[in-house]
Amino acid sequence: MRLWVDDLRTPPDGWEWAKTSAAAIARLDAGGVEQLSLDHDLGGDDTTRPVVLWMCEHEVWPREIRVHSANPVGVEWLTGMIDRYRL
């Protein structure tokens, strides 16, 4: 399954859409996510940082992870954490 995490941009065809970090974590916890694409900013104070921290803590790493955010500082944080902790 492919999971697209973004509050504004609609996902490509064939991707499930999570608009909040809580929704993304719930979907990852349910299992079966093979591809993950992350925006950084999810509206208000929500970001995908909790998603990546959850993946680190639970050792859940989809086969393919992309970051599609326009926030350069957010991209650096997400990719740095993924590169450092991914198994």
Q: Mean pLDDT, 10 residues at a time, over the chain (87 residues)?
A: 98 98 98 98 97 97 97 98 92
Q: What is the pTM of this model?
A: 0.95
Domain count along the chain: 1
Alpha helices (H) along 1-87: 21-30, 49-58, 72-85
Q: Are 66 and 36 in contact (CB under 8 A)?
A: yes
- With a CB cutoff of 8 Å and minimum separation 6, the contacts of 59 are 87
**pLDDT given at position 32:** 97
Coil, strand, or helix at residue 3? Answer: strand
**pLDDT given at position 37:** 98
Coil, strand, or helix at residue 17? Answer: strand
Phi, psi of 67, deg, nearest 5: -120, 120
**pLDDT given at position 87:** 73
Residue 62 belongs to domain spanning: 2-85
**pLDDT given at position 50:** 98
**pLDDT given at position 28:** 98
